[in-house]
Amino acid sequence: MLLFTCPNCGPRNETEFHYGGQAHVAYPESPGELSDREWAEYLFYRENTKGLFAERWVHSAGCRKWFNMVRDTVSYEVKAVYRIGELQPETLERIASATEPEQAQPLAPAQANPTTASEGV
């Protein structure tokens, strides 16, 4: 049995949760202009990742709130849990690494510490 950590309730049994598929599937900006094929792909086409996968879960037997989870589809290891609306940790890392070279030179090492902390999120 797996333990999942709900962002609201803390560690609970896997059976208290329900799966909600791939996370961060954005609603099309102008759905009216999509072709039938593009609309069908938005509705039904999902990644089938081997490895780290961001997905939605709901704590249906507890707080009944949705949240996101990054899970390794091979080992079932849960890498990160974050709330709906929050950025995916991988995205945060990308943003952090993109801004790092600009900040790294003017900042003293002590001031640069928050950047390294965010990488561990």
Partner 1 sequence: MWLLEKQYFLMQKGRAEMGNTAQNTEVLALRRSPAHHLWTDFTVGSVAGERGVTLREVPFQRMVGIRVDPTSEVGTRIGELTGGLPLNSGDVTTGESGAAVLWLAPDEFLVVAPDDGEPGPSALVTSLLEALGDGAGQVIDLSSNRTTFELSGPSARAVLEKSCAADLHPRTIAAGTAITTEINKIPTVLFKSADETFQLFPRSSFADYLGRWLLDGMVEFAAEGTSWP
8 binds partner 1 (CB under 8 A): yes
CA distance 99 to 13: 39
Q: Which listed range, 20-28, 58-66, 73-81, 103-111, lies at the site for partner 1 (CB under 8 A)?
A: 58-66
Burial of 120 (0-12, 13-18, 19+ CB in 10 A): exposed
Q: How many CA atoms lie within 13 A of 68 on its CB side?
A: 18
Query: Is the CA virtual torsion 107, 111, 115, 116 positive or negative?
Result: positive
12 binds partner 1 (CB under 8 A): yes
Nearest CA-CA partner of 52 in 13, 31, 80, 28: 80
Least distance between partner 1 and beta carbon 86 (Å): 14
84 binds partner 1 (CB under 8 A): no
**Nearer to partner 1 among residue 42 and residue 56 (C-beta):** 56
64 binds partner 1 (CB under 8 A): yes
Report the DSSP beta bridge partners of residue 55: 22, 69
Q: Which listed range, 5-13, 18-26, 50-58, 88-96, lies at the site for partner 1 (CB under 8 A)?
A: 5-13
**Nearer to partner 1 among residue 56 and residue 100 (C-beta):** 56
Catalog residues that contact partner 1 under the rule CB under 8 A: 1, 8-13, 15-16, 61-65
